[in-house]
Amino acid sequence: MAIAFGRFDDSFSLASFKAYIAEFISTLLFVFAGVGSCIAYNKLTADAALSPTGLVAVAICHAFALFVAVAIGANISGGHVNPAVTFGLALGGQITILTGLFYWIAQLLGAVAGAFLLRAATGGLTTPIHSVAAGVGVFEAVVMEIIITFALVYTVYATAVDPKKGSLGTIAPIAIGFIVGANILAAGAFSGGSMNPARSFGPAVASGDFQDHWVYWVGPLIGGGLAGLIYGNVFMQHDDHVPLTSDY
């Protein structure tokens, strides 16, 4: 599949601007709910350490929040809500590079806005960030993020992008939310289970703590990119390729 750079007139069209706004809003709501669930759990338990119960609660909240965030943006922007998803779709020829860059800007701004709104709404409570667990090396954390983000973007392709998806397309947001929840349960105690550079970036900016933050860019982008290249070139036909700007 060909990777398309795109045209400026296309990326600055009215439909494209609507897509950027949709990505901003969806990512804001996802980060607000996801990070908010972590803050709420810490407040209710007076325990900043992630327990098995807390991991389950956070995973469920992220699954529900992403399901909604994808669903409300699907008909406008495609509901990426994640720079790794956008990157995977760009490498698979499903969105232009130029439009993808504007998606990234919208997603990162939405994540930062969501994190700061949450900080203000909670009276300045500590904003938790993604971090590598004690006893886990950064290399192992990157590998974990590669694998779980590959699973996420592969699911996006299979249920939302592939023209052969058929009735699966109607449950795409549910499937995407489920794989994120499952991956958080699997990876939360090790790498933090980000899969989403924007989800990690917003809280890092709000807290001013960027320790090991690069892990949550390198891992997800490699994993998402691999999923896009593999699914886009192995399981989709060349005539399925239409570089998209505002949806998939």
Query: What's residue 150's pLDDT?
Result: 98
Task: Report the alpha-carbon distance of residue 211 to residue 238 in Å, rounded.
Answer: 42
Secondary structure of residue 103 in the 3-state scheme: helix
pTM for the model = 0.93
CATH number for the domain whose boundaries are 8-240: 1.20.1080.10
Task: Report the alpha-carbon distance of residue 175 to residue 189 in Å, rounded.
Answer: 22
The Cα angle at residue 150 between residues 143 and 130, in degrees rounded to 5: 55
Query: What's residue 237's pLDDT?
Result: 72
Domain coordinates in residue numbering, the chain: 8-240
Q: Are 83 and 153 in contact (CB under 8 A)?
A: no
Bridge partner residues of 95 (DSSP): 244
Exposed / middle / buried, residue 78 (Cβ in 10 Å: 0-12, 13-18, 19+): buried
Per-residue pLDDT of the chain (248 residues), as tens digits, is 578 888 888 889 999 999 999 999 999 999 999 999 999 988 888 765 568 888 999 999 999 999 999 999 999 999 999 999 999 999 999 999 999 999 999 999 999 999 999 999 999 999 999 999 999 999 999 999 999 999 999 999 999 999 988 877 789 999 999 999 999 999 999 999 999 999 999 999 999 999 999 999 999 999 999 999 999 999 987 655 444 444 43
